[in-house]
A and B are shown apart, each in its own frame.
Chain A
Amino acid sequence: MAEPSDDELVALVMAGRDKRAFGVLVRRHEVVVRGLLMRLCRNHALAEDLAQDAFVRAYTRIDSYRATGSFKSWLCRIAYTEFLKSARKRKSADRALDRLQNDAVEDSAPPADGGARVDLDRALATLKPDERVCVVLCYAGGLSHSEAAGVTGFALGTVKSHVKRGRDKLKAWFERKVEAA
């Protein structure tokens, strides 16, 4: 029997607060949401907390989901909002995004998988905050440019140029790293 689609599961949750259906959605999107927040926060513990908050928020706000876009992009928007809220709580959104740029290495749990993750986070730290957000949404979240535009509220052209510029910077960063090695 075919797996139910996200929209079918959402309909079950909406109809009767079906927790089992929501559990399937959580399992299906857990990695994307946690990965997205880890790349945005680069603080393992904070990202895990925010991911849990995002799922709880998604459950309580499930009635506001409209199947005009994918469930994943709706969930990513909630996760991104949780990230911004958390950033505002700490200082202000702008200063927190600047912090993303300045922090080179994660400041909580040690990396479990060695240098590759640190490399990626260091490379991402060289991007401007908006470029970083767009790159992370498209690559860690697997969103299309238009979905990323919907999540961030940026214009589609802006997202495209942020992603392109970000990718060029990352390419240059990795090339410099190879040359230096």
Chain B
Amino acid sequence: MNDNADTARNEEDAFHTELEELFRRNEPQPQPGYAGRILQRVSRPERVRYAAIGGAGALGAAVSGFQLRQLLENQTLQFSGMLGEVIAFAGPQSISVALMAASGLVLAWVLPRRGF
């Protein structure tokens, strides 16, 4: 029984080694200049894509900034407490600029981490 188990294990080990060798022989050859081609790709940003994303982001920011100012200027909205004090003190335009700047900072922090 033990002999049979040992034989089976030896055969398995032998085939494992054989299979490793087979995969090794079938590996692709290293290509000269391969790393250089990859580095060219990572150095060459997709400018059209970036321009489109940046343009869409800028347009969205402009629209939302304008709407935000209008929202804060809207006299029908009643702000009370701390928020009301802040709006009264800073004014809607300053607040919308501050919010847009904060959004810009978040984008500047996130985008490099997403590979842009």
Contact = CB atoms under 8 A, between A and B. Distances in A.
Whether chains A and B associate is yes
A24 B34 CA distance: 11
B82 interface: no
Interface of B: 12, 15-16, 19-20, 22-23, 25-31, 34-39, 41-43, 113, 115
5 contacts: A19-B42, A31-B29, A120-B26, A167-B19, A170-B19
A75 B114 CA distance: 17
Contact of A167 (B15, B29, B36): B15
Contacts of A117: 26
Across the A-B interface, give the 4 residue pairs with the lowest CB-CB distance, nearest first: A60-B115, A26-B35, A23-B35, A139-B23
A113 interface: yes
A54 to B, nearest CB: 10
Interface in A99-154: 113, 116-117, 120, 139-140
Contacts of B27: 31-32, 35, 140
A61 B114 CA distance: 7
Given A63-B113, A167-B15, A35 B39 contact: no
A40 interface: no
B42 A113 contact: no
A30 interface: yes
Nearest to B25: A116
A113 B15 contact: no
Contacts of B115: 57, 60-61
B15 A171 contact: yes
A139 B42 contact: no
A23 B39 contact: yes
A83 interface: no
A38 interface: yes
A120 B113 contact: no
Contact of A52 (B19, B23, B38): B38
A35 B29 CA distance: 9
A55 B38 contact: yes
A38 B39 contact: no
B37 A52 contact: yes
Contacts of A176: none
Contact of A22 (B23, B26, B42): B42
